[in-house]
Amino acid sequence: MLRIIMPGIHTTVQDMGRQGNYHLGVPPSGAADKYSFLLGNLLLGNPLEYAGLEMTLLGPKIEFHKKTVISLTGAPVEPCLNHQPIPMWENIIVQEGDILSFKGVTNGVKTYLCVSGGIQVPQILDSKSTYSLAQFGGYQGRKLKIGDELMLAEPLPGVFKQAGKRIPKEFIPLFNRDNEIRAVMGLSSYRISDEGIKSFLNSDWKVSSESDRVAYRYKGESISLKDLDSPFGSGNSQYGIVDTVYPIGVILVPNNEEVIVLLNDGTSGGGFVTIGTVISTDLDIIAQSRPLSTTRFSAITVDKAIQARMERQKEITRLTELLRK
């Protein structure tokens, strides 16, 4: 078991997400930065879908009531075990009674705590991830509070011999303040003028402080629309369309002042003009973007998006083979 002494800003139980229910209005949820999260499980020898903790900006203070092995990945923090600094991206043994604490995140947003055997909470729709808006999944459907106690599975066989094993530096992602995000253009972008498309792709966009697991908001240049009549049923706004399905990563243009990218807890549909969709591998970068950081969007083809996904999978496969040696 582990007990929450201090909860941090926003700490939740997450796994790789629940699939197959988005058409019913249930988003996948799951770790916002899936690459960092799965590297934590991979390092421990856990199945990749085992649940861990996602910590935002300021991590919790945790007391362990069981000897086990942990790994910390994601946005760089200064973790301490019993007030002594410990490394990230490495397997660490914790003893019964040990206290894990964190200083604030210096770059990035999300840090992950994975535990050998995983965190044990009820599974809902084939996932243990927290969906806070609907108050289900994770630990009582909410972020963690002082005094919460989470059950831990028994450590996996042989894991204590893996203490000190770490992720090679070449696989550790960078957490930059200026990022380029790739997107496939389309959906209802036919309503956007050529000047609007150029403005979107050639502008620096600032991450809004209102960004969260549902969506990231960006402020930048104005995106102008073509002089078209609004379709029947789309409302009075020129940026409205008849309701359509939103994929995760869709880029909405709700007005001429901002764009919005939907993330893991996003709604499955709505009535805003859409300009394209961020590719899956770059959603991790968005989730780690700090408020007021700068983003540039670039357009790529579907083939290039598929290639990026395949390259990511090859990287994970290569790391898996290295960790087994």
pLDDT tens digits for 10-47?
999 999 999 999 988 899 999 999 999 999 999 999 99
Whether residue 99 contacts residue 5, with contact meaning beta carbons closer than 8 Å, is answered with yes
Whether residue 213 contacts residue 289, with contact meaning beta carbons closer than 8 Å, is answered with no
CA 156 vs CA 149, 160, 228, 280: distances in Å = 21, 9, 61, 31
pLDDT of residue 210: 92
Q: How far apart are CA 108 and CA 242, in angstroms?
A: 36
**CA 236 centroid distance within chain:** 34
pLDDT digits 0-9 by tens, 158-179: 999 999 999 999 999 999 989 9
- Nearest of 271, 175, 268 to residue 230 by alpha carbon: 271
Instruction: State yes or no: pLDDT of 74 exceeds 60.
Output: yes
Q: Is 203 helix (H, G, I), strand (E, B) or coil?
A: coil
Q: How far apart are CA 119 and CA 77, in angstroms?
A: 21
Average pLDDT over residues 287-307: 96
Which of the residue ranges 58-67, 76-85, 252-261 would you say has the lowest mean pLDDT?
252-261
pLDDT bin (cut points 50, 70, 90) of residue 325 is: confident
pLDDT of residue 230: 64
Burial class (CB in 10 A: 0-12, 13-18, 19+), 53: buried
pLDDT digits 0-9 by tens, 210-262: 999 999 999 988 888 777 666 655 566 666 666 778 899 999 998 888 999 99
Residues facing 269 on adjacent strands: 245
Residues in the chain: 325
Locus of tokens 């990218």: 261
DSSP label of 131: B
For the chain, the average pLDDT equals 93
What percent of the chain stands above pLDDT 70? 95
pLDDT bin (cut points 50, 70, 90) of residue 306 is: very high
DSSP label of 85: E
Please list the alpha-helical segments (H only) found in 136-233: 194-202
DSSP label of 142: B
Q: How far apart are CA 65 and CA 3, in angstroms?
A: 8
pLDDT of residue 270: 82
pLDDT of residue 283: 97
Which two structure tokens, joined as six digits, stand for 15?
Answer: 């796994």
Please list the alpha-helical segments (H only) found in 86-234: 194-202
Which two structure tokens, joined as six digits, stand for 173?
Answer: 């992602």
pLDDT of residue 16: 97
Q: Is 81 helix (H, G, I), strand (E, B) or coil?
A: strand
Q: How far apart are CA 118 and CA 319, in angstroms?
A: 20
Average pLDDT over residues 100-113: 93
pLDDT of residue 226: 78
Q: How far apart are CA 323 and CA 325, in angstroms?
A: 6
CATH 2.40.100.10 domain span(s) along the chain: 178-309
pLDDT of residue 271: 74
Fold that domain 178-309 belongs to in CATH: Cyclophilin (2.40.100)
